[in-house]
Chain A
Amino acid sequence: MSTLTEQIQKEIDTLDLNFSKKNVGTIVHVADGVAHIEGLSEVMYNEMVLFPGDVYGIALNLTEDEVDCVVLGDISSLKEGDEVQTTGKLLSVPVGKELLGRVVDALGHPVDGKGDIKSKEHYPVERIAPGILPRQSVDQPLQTGIMAIDSMMPVGRGQRELIIGDRQTGKTTIAIDTIINQAQINRVGFKSGDADFRPVYSIYVAVGQKNSSIARTIATLEKANALDYTIIVNASAGENPANQYLAPFSGAAMGEWFMQNGMDALIVYDDLSKQAVAYRQISLILKRPSGREAYPGDVFYLHSRLLERSARLNKDNGNGSLTALPIIETQAGDVSAYIATNVISITDGQIFLETDLFNQGVRPAISVGLSVSRVGSAAQIKAYKQVAGKVKLELAQYRELKAFAQFGSDLDARTKAQLDRGDRIVELFKQSASSPRPVEIQICLLWAVQNAYFDDISSKKVTAAANSLQDFLSTLQASLLEQILKEKNLTESIEDELKKILLAWKNTFQPES
């Protein structure tokens, strides 16, 4: 009771008796999530406007007499003649570490039932991307924990790497595994007490997905203890298109906070095709001129301005980074579709997933030929470069040889050896979901394959052998793994040690078991 009276007393004490000026307008027409408003002469582009019942909207079309606003909440209570007022604020969302472990909507409101978010700062959802001067080149690795990616198309901190493929090819799994790997690295890094350790915080933006899929993703992250380092921005398929269009920008604002404050963050946009569809819907309702496939003319700018916000800042600007993993869903493997080509041209590389490979059991179903990272080995530690330098080439040659080998049975020994090695690398790169591999383990595994330690193991047993070697190394040879991480280079002494360890492991591993 006393707190209630104290609260009212406080409000009385701080009551502002001066005039408050607001700019208002009247709804003349409301339908399909868009309100046409007369008045609001002082409204800014992208400004939040307040409808009756505390429903917010954003002003998107400003004409001489009318303003078109996209309503961000329940439209059913709005009617013609209702008064709308400007807020003087651009659409902004809460940012900061307080959001970690939380699920929020496109406006940053919590939707996980864990109470309010006590965030101290807000960032506008639309911000200009960092310019040329504060940036520096991408040269620090961001380990995904997926061998095929880390070895052949490494991702660096501040890079934009597109994940593209048909439905049900494992696009989200790659993104979630990467988030899980960051959480695992963070946990080890914090535990080690290393002052130079730079954690990577993750933001997962779900656009136009089923709520059941999002619930599954959250459960996966929770199970892997990765949610503590992750923010989930959810604009599900049931939400209005404005929220689906805004969610990636809100997520980017949250990620930018980490980058601007000298930290590293990873953002996953799952997926931008659905965001483009939502934007198309809004644009058509707003009567903006439509172009190819009825998308508005600025659909390229929609994605380019979003992805340009991912950057690696130089030391003078805090040395932070924001890495983006946008996802695009293709139809029947068509990478030449409008939105797909747009995003391919914006990003610094793509991971292309193939339905055929997925159905053959090659998971992750990465197409080596069509996947590329334009940052390349600049984002790999030296030890990794030593073992993975030729893998992509070897795999490309393997695929070519395999195609030819189908026509004849007599193969020379060299070709046969190349095919056998290729078979083993393909098997080695198979990885189950939610089990990212630490980089030092990946280096050891690749070194073992390159140095013929897997040659006497049948290709069908390579996955089991790799898992066995991983267990052996992580339980019994932790000191060697630490040394690889520390030196970041495969020195002669490390290689000698590896040889001994691999011989010891081979005695314990029984391929036929």
Chain B
Amino acid sequence: MTYSNSKLKILAKKLLQVSRDEKGNLSSQQVSKVLALIKKQFPSRQLRLLLKHYLNAVKQALLQEQAIIEYAGTIVPSEIDSIVKTISQHYNRSITTIEKNVPELIAGIKIRIVDDVYNTSIEQKLQIIQRKNFS
């Protein structure tokens, strides 16, 4: 039996659902079980494509739980805690953070969660001024 690309995507999403623990978080144990199962059960000629879709789905799911905080200068842990609390509340899920010092921002911070970007950096303000007045 050959599966179409769209069917493989749907299957990868279903596999993602069973890769979560009872709290709804992705668990490495569950992922290992899923991998072992599909290696054993799934036709080998389409296994590579299914694994690719599964990887994408897992990556997307991980990104959903992760916020990348970029800042210029210094940022104190209490500020990060406050940000995590606010965004976890907003997205209604627990979110972990990765902090990066990016001097190009000049000042301010930029937070990225999946495809939402919250920006208060001076770099972005200058870009707006440039677009408004010089383009």
Q: Mask for A74-94, Cβ within 8 A of B = 1, else 0?
A: 000000000001000000000
Q: Mask for A19-52, Cβ within 8 A of B = 1, else 0?
A: 1111111000000000000011110000000000
A2 at the interface (CB under 8 A from B): no
B41 at the interface (CB under 8 A from A): no
Docked Cα-Cα span, A176 to B115, in Å, equals: 49
- Residues on the B chain within 8 Å of A54, using CB: 131, 135
Interface size class of A (residues with CB under 8 A): 20 to 34
Closest to A40 in B: B115
Q: Mask for B97-121, Cβ within 8 A of A = 1, else 0?
A: 0000000000000001011111110
B92 at the interface (CB under 8 A from A): no
A133 at the interface (CB under 8 A from B): no
The prevalent SS among residues of B at the interface is mixed
- Residues on the A chain within 8 Å of B114, using CB: 39, 41
Q: Let me know if B118 and A21 touch, CB within 8 A.
A: yes
Closest to B135 in A: A54
A403 at the interface (CB under 8 A from B): no
Docked Cα-Cα span, A217 to B117, in Å, equals: 48
Query: Among the listed A17, A18, A21, A65, which residue makes an inter-chain contact with B116, where contact means beta carbons less than 8 Å apart?
Result: A21
Q: Let me know if A25 and B124 touch, CB within 8 A.
A: no
Query: Among the listed A17, A18, A19, A25, which residue makes an inter-chain contact with B115, where contact means beta carbons less than 8 Å apart?
Result: A25
Closest to A25 in B: B115
Docked Cα-Cα span, A23 to B133, in Å, equals: 24
Q: Let me know if A21 and B117 touch, CB within 8 A.
A: yes
Q: Let me know if B120 and A20 touch, CB within 8 A.
A: yes
B76 at the interface (CB under 8 A from A): no
B125 at the interface (CB under 8 A from A): yes
Q: Mask for A420-452, Cβ within 8 A of B = 1, else 0?
A: 000000000000000000000000000000000
A7 at the interface (CB under 8 A from B): yes
B129 at the interface (CB under 8 A from A): yes
Interface size class of B (residues with CB under 8 A): 10 to 19
Q: Let me know if A15 and B125 touch, CB within 8 A.
A: yes
- Residues on the A chain within 8 Å of B120, using CB: 17-20
Q: Let me know if A39 and B115 touch, CB within 8 A.
A: yes
Chain A residues 44-66 with CB under 8 Å of chain B are 54, 65
Q: How far is the CB of A180 from chain B (nearest CB, A)?
A: 37
- Residues on the A chain within 8 Å of B112, using CB: 24
Also in contact, A20 and B131, with CB within 8 A (given A15-B125, A39-B114, A41-B114): no
Q: How far is the CB of B120 from chain A (nearest CB, A)?
A: 5
Docked Cα-Cα span, A17 to B108, in Å, equals: 9
Docked Cα-Cα span, A22 to B129, in Å, equals: 17
- Residues on the A chain within 8 Å of B9, using CB: 65
Docked Cα-Cα span, A85 to B125, in Å, equals: 16
A11 at the interface (CB under 8 A from B): yes
Q: Mask for A168-183, Cβ within 8 A of B = 1, else 0?
A: 0000000000000000
Given A24-B112, A24-B116, A39-B115, 6 more A-B residue pairs with CB atoms under 8 Å apart are A19-B118, A19-B119, A21-B118, A21-B119, A22-B116, A24-B117
Which B positions have Cβ atoms within 8 angstroms of A?
9, 112, 114-120, 124-125, 129, 131, 133, 135
Query: What are 17 A-B interface contacts by the 8 Å CB criterion?
Result: A11-B129, A19-B118, A19-B120, A20-B118, A22-B116, A22-B117, A22-B119, A23-B116, A23-B117, A24-B112, A24-B115, A24-B117, A25-B115, A41-B114, A41-B115, A42-B116, A54-B135
